[in-house]
Amino acid sequence: MRTLKKEKLVVFIILSATVALAYQLPYMKYTFYDQMMEALQLNDTQMGFLTTCLTFANTLCYPIGGFFADRFPMKRLICITLAAFAVLTALFGFTTNYYILIGIHISYGFFGIATLWSAYLAGLRSLGDENSQSALFGSSESTRGILQTITSFIFLGIMNIAATPVLGFRLVMLTGAGITGIFLILALLFLPSEAAPGPDTKKEEKIPLREILSHKGVWITIWVIMCSYVSWTLGNGYLTTYTVRVLGISSSAASAIGVVRSYVIVLAAGFIGGWLLDRFSYKGKGFAVFLSVTVVTTLAMLCTNKIVPLCVGLTLFLALMANIMKATYWSIMGQAGIPVKMTAVATGIISFIAFIPDFIVPTVCGIWLDAAAKAGDVAVGFQKIFFLLIAFSVLGIAGAVCLMRQTRSLEKKTAA
């Protein structure tokens, strides 16, 4: 991010750090499942229900986030988010009351989306022009990954030196609350008070909701993001277990590869993806290429499962492509024709619709895998998952072509 001036770089880091914490602290079970279950005195069903409450609240709050970001300054929303997360995280570490924990997770969902998500996207977009959007969003994704990696090692160190897992979990959550408090102070000091969703946004220029819903670029963006997101879910979420259950490598080796996939590749994908997509004059063309490569890589992976080293390498490359798309798909809004002043509300609507498959796809894939395992050939379940990945990628290519045509059409209108 060498092109950002010092003031904008500070805003960039605070925005990225806020989202990094908001998408790490509520999901501590993925790192400290057993310690959390013991500290909070929960069973597996209760642990799962807490995540369900969080996801449900997230989804409902996407449109609310667009509404808030369109009407309140970014600084106010970011500071409210950080203050809420500091309080909720401290409480999370000490209470064992199940109903309070449900309330905490619903509140996490509200503040993580309603007061943060659209404000973050609009604020980040306003830091650069259209020529730097892919680099901005990609670098933010990588910065979030770097910060989450650092805090994860801090939390792991605390857990390892704590006398008991219960004490360790409480200290981890208190540390998380403290880190959140530090970024709250930084936000109060360095985020510009006048920062609103975008430089064009004024109260008298609010765009009616029906105009946003009828905007062609909004629906093209939904199309591309939905297909890219599902491709990321399928091309990133099932690869570790695929290498164990189909390729036959050990769980420890698969976990080591999973670390590379979850950290090294994710960090690289943001920087590489942002740089690479900005090399394309049309972002639609870039996504058509990314999705086409995803299709070819998936087919190659299915055809080489008897050649384990090659197939493992292809799973890593597939994860790279999936994370490149996830890191950069928000940068297409400009070329889709979505004006900056529409960003706040539009991102709420786009997120609400584009992420709907997140409720359906994992359940369907789980049913396929269970049925295949019961039938004695789990590879069939994975084949169905990867064919679904190919299908969404092909749909995404069609959406990317529509995006490219939309960009060309807008260029002609501008020239005229």
What is residue 160's predicted lDDT score, i.e. its pLDDT?
84
Residue 362: per-residue pLDDT: 83
Question: DSSP code of 282?
Answer: S
Cα–Cα dist 84/180, whole Å:
9
> What is the reported pTM?
0.79
Token pair 């009616």 is at which residue? 208
- The better pLDDT of the pair 196, 257 is held by 257
CA distance to 99, 161, 305, per residue, from 383 (Å): 40, 43, 11
User: What is the four-CA torsion angle of 148, 232, 323, 60, rounded to 10 degrees?
Assistant: -50
Q: In the predicted model, what is the mean pLDDT of the chain?
A: 88
Rounded average pLDDT over 251-262? 75
Instruction: Confirm if 119 and 128 have CB atoms less than 8 A apart.
Output: no
pLDDT, position 82: 97
Q: What is the pLDDT of residue 199?
A: 42
Q: What is the mean pLDDT of residues 179-184?
A: 97
Q: Mean pLDDT check: name the lowest of 90-104, 137-151, 176-190.
A: 137-151
Between CA 220 and CA 232, with CA 226 as vertex, the angle to 5 degrees is: 135
Q: What is the pLDDT of residues 182-201, one digit of tens each?
A: 999 999 999 988 644 444 44
User: Which is more confidently placed, 343 or 16?
Assistant: 16
Q: Residue 265 class from Cβ within 10 Å (0-12 exposed, 13-18 middle, 19+ buried)?
A: buried
**pLDDT at res. 194:** 62
Cα separation of the two ends of the chain: 34
pLDDT tens readout for residues 308-357 = 999 999 999 999 999 999 989 999 999 999 998 888 889 999 999 998 88
Across 199-348, where does the E strand assignment appear? none
**Secondary structure percentages of the chain, helix, strand, coil, to 5:** 85, 0, 15
Q: Indicate whether 5 pLDDT > 90.
A: no
In the predicted model, is pLDDT for residue 285 greater than 60?
yes
